[in-house]
Amino acid sequence: DARVTQTPRHKVTEMGQEVTMRCQPILGHNTVFWYRQTMMQGLELLAYFRNRAPLDDSGMPKDRFSAEMPDATLATLKIQPSEPRDSAVYFCASGLSLLSGYTFGSGTRLTVV
Amino acid sequence: GDSVTQMEGPVTLSEEAFLTINCTYTATGYPSLFWYVQYPGEGLQLLLKATKADDKGSNKGFEATYRKETTSFHLEKGSVQVSDSAVYFCALSDKGGADGLTFGKGTHLIIQP
């Protein structure tokens, strides 16, 4: 089965450091999402792209978060500077349409100390 | 704004028991409704969906009926197995796929042999 690949799987970093998370969507999928999962808030939509163009990033703290798709095979989510409250699992998902379902990666577990 | 409320659990059942996980929603329009499942260490995957009132989604023995009058989309299964142990997320999309999904906080299901 085709998979969404996220790297790294785990990341521990110190407060103030830059963190970059990467996602390889399934080939041919034109929509890519970034979600953040925490115990308190559950799953929150951070940003999404269609055909590599950013459509909505209203869920992201703009002062420290940025999301890009430099090409169709790579999406990145960057946090600079990182803070302890950014500790969460970050999921990337890709798909063709809502009704066909989105495929999620296994997530990046970020811990900021 | 849109929201999804579901029982948080954990829900613990014995194998072959009947399962119901409640889900209710608030939306301004006529949303499509979804159940996603997350197995340990993995990303979410689409379990079933319904796009209009009275539609029944089904997959792998799970069913859910879109009830507009009660704004509900409860997940049911007649006889659960240990392999059904996972976290189940109810979700909606209110804008034809133009935006990402709004998820509930998830229900952790534990099936004991």
How does pLDDT run across A41-59, given as a tens digit for each residue?
A: 889 999 999 999 988 888 8
Whether residue B43 is predicted with pLDDT greater than 90 in this model: the reply is no
Interface test with A, best of B51, B88, B90, B101 (most A CBs within 10 A): B101
Tokens 């995957």, located at residue: B45
Residue-level pLDDT at B57: 96
Closest Cα in chain A, distance from residue B69 (Å) = 23
Phi-psi domain of A57 (left: phi exceeds 0; alpha: psi -120 through 50; beta: other): alpha
Model confidence over B86-109: pLDDT tens digits? 999 999 987 655 567 889 999 999
Question: Cα-flanking dihedrals φ and ψ of residue A96, to 5°?
Answer: -100, -35
What proportion of chain B, given as a percentage, has pLDDT over 90? Answer: 75
Model confidence over A72-96: pLDDT tens digits? 999 999 999 999 999 999 999 999 8
Instruction: Label residue B54 by pLDDT band (50, 70, 90).
Output: very high
What proportion of chain A, given as a percentage, has pLDDT over 90? Answer: 76
Asked whether the beta carbons of B65 and B54 are under 8 A apart, the reply is yes
Of A6, A52, A97, A29, residue with least CA distance to B34: A97
Instruction: Label residue A66 by pLDDT band (50, 70, 90).
Output: very high
Interface test with B, best of A35, A98, A103, A106 (most B CBs within 10 A): A98
Q: Residue window 20-79, chain A: list those with CB within 8 Å of chain B.
A: 33, 35, 42-43, 45, 48, 55-56
Taking an 8 Å cut-off on Cβ atoms, the answer to whether A98 and B97 are in contact is yes
Q: How far apart are CA B91 and CA B100, in angstroms?
A: 10
